[in-house]
């Protein structure tokens, strides 16, 4: 198994974060709809709905922690890359693709999670940290990608530039 990082990892991180946030929005919206339909029908349904709301609310904290964990893994894996600096051009191209893709994910989230939709009103109230990450995903992807490129291709003794 390949245990080194690559610039494709930054695209995978964006996809995973976007998918996690969309799943959280959908699950939270469905849970909210079940709550309005089932609240007060019996004692056990109220207890189950309270537990489900607590669990859905945890996604607001789990998504940022998962994002930080993925970024740490990306940086650690970047140290394992042994490459010549001539391949930096390919890395820059991959970074541009990753930032454009992250911008598209951010725009899709704005369409899905905007306040004009049912899900949007729900998302703004329940997932502020996740919304902060997805709204700034292109910037975060660009910064992380540049740091990864510096780590991957700027090491001394690997044919890179000594700092």
Question: Could you give the C-alpha distances from 14 to 11, 95, 117, 140, in angstroms and in order?
Answer: 5, 12, 23, 10
Q: What ranges do the domains of the chain cover?
A: 8-153
Of 125, 126, 133, 147, the C-alpha closest to 60 is 126
Q: Dump pLDDT digits (tens) for 54-98.
A: 788 788 899 999 999 999 999 888 888 777 778 888 889 999 999
- Mean pLDDT to the nearest integer, 114-139: 78
Over range 16-23, report the average pLDDT: 91
Supply angle C-alpha 141, 151, 5, rounded to 5: 70
pLDDT for the residue 160:
47
Counted residue by residue, the chain has a size of 163
* pTM assigned to the model: 0.81
Across the chain, where does the E strand assignment appear?
A: none
Q: In whole angstroms, what is the distance from residue 17 CA to residue 23 CA?
A: 10
Local structure of residue 87 (DSSP, 8 states) = G
């Amino acid at each position: 198994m390949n245990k080194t990082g690559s610039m494709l990892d930054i695209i995978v991180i964006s996809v995973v974060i976007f998918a996690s946030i969309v799943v959280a929005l959908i699950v939270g919206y469905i849970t909210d709809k079940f709550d309005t339909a089932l609240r007060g029908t019996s004692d056990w349904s109220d207890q189950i709905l309270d537990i489900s709301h607590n669990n859905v609310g945890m996604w607001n904290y789990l998504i940022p922690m998962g994002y930080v964990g993925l970024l740490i893994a990306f940086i650690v894996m970047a140290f394992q890359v042994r490459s010549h600096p001539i391949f930096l051009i390919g890395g820059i191209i991959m970074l541009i693709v990753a930032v454009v893709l992250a911008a598209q994910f951010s725009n899709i989230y704005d369409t899905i999670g905007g306040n004009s939709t049912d899900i949007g009103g729900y998302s703004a109230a329940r997932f502020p940290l996740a919304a902060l990450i997805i709204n700034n995903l292109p910037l975060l992807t660009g910064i992380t990608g540049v740091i990864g490129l510096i780590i991957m291709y700027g090491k001394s003794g690997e044919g890179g530039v000594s700092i």
